[in-house]
Amino acid sequence: MRRILWSIALSISMAQALTLENVRADLGKSLMASDSVEIGIRTTVSSSAMSSSQGMTMYLVRKGPAKIYAEVKMPMMNQRTIINGNRMKSIDLDSRKYQVLPYNGESFPMMSYANFNPLDSGEWSEPRLVSGSLYSIKGAKGTLYYDSKKKRIDKMETEDLEKSTSTEFSYDAENNLKTMTIHVSAQGVETSVVTEILKLRHSRDFPDRLFEF
């Protein structure tokens, strides 16, 4: 009888086991269409090797596959970029000088914050239960920790001979990414990079006329 009960329990456990495909599918359900997004970001960098923290803000709108409006503001740069089809206009917002160049479709790193999903690329192992609803998933990029109940990534860790990196994520009530805090320790230097998602929404209301030039 005990053997039968053990077999039933084992079967139930295997049926309920979380798989890598389950995680990818759950993360995919919460992603916003990458060609229909408006996002604002503020990043602050602090380090034991710096006398004061440094910050930058970024704003990006993508409306359809061929229209992008982006602004980057930091101490050494204040720039706006507008892409419409195969043309790109780059404007120095301090001097108002600009240039129009061909655009060949290169990607914008900011888009990764709108659709954060490291499992989209690289090799990853099957999830392993840590405790409760928390699972660890190991890959070439490091180890991430996934909450199967809340269906989101809570933390990611990487470590090599030169440095160790820990990234923690926080979310709003709708499970959208709100902050990403990266701690890096390398050769006695401690660095913290805090990225705040100030705005994340569909770009349907962004005026089309701002893409014209």
Query: What is the rounded CA–CA span in Å between residue 61 and residue 210?
Result: 10
The tens digit of pLDDT for each residue in 131-157 reads: 999 999 999 889 999 999 999 999 999
The predicted structure's pLDDT at residue 7 = 44
Whether residue 88 contacts residue 80, with contact meaning beta carbons closer than 8 Å, is answered with no
91 or 109: which leads in pLDDT = 91
The tens digit of pLDDT for each residue in 155-207 reads: 999 988 789 999 999 999 888 889 999 999 998 899 999 999 999 899 999 99
* pTM greater than 0.85 (yes/no): no
The b-or-e profile of 71-107 (16+ CB within 10 A means b, else e) is bbeeeeeeebbbbbeeebbebeeeeeeeeeeebeeee
Q: Outline where DSSP puts E strands in 21-127.
A: 36-47, 54-63, 67-74, 77-84, 87-92, 98-102
Average of pLDDT values for 49-53? 90
The SS3 call for residue 2 is helix
Per-residue pLDDT band at 10 (split at 50, 70, 90): very low
Q: Side-chain half-sphere of 101: how many Cα atoms within 13 Å? A: 9
Q: Side-chain half-sphere of 178: how many Cα atoms within 13 Å? A: 6
Per-residue pLDDT band at 114 (split at 50, 70, 90): low
Q: Which among 213, 197, 176, 175 has a CA at the least distance from the CA of 60?
A: 197
What average pLDDT does the structure give for the chain? Answer: 87
Q: What tokens does 72 get?
A: 């980057």
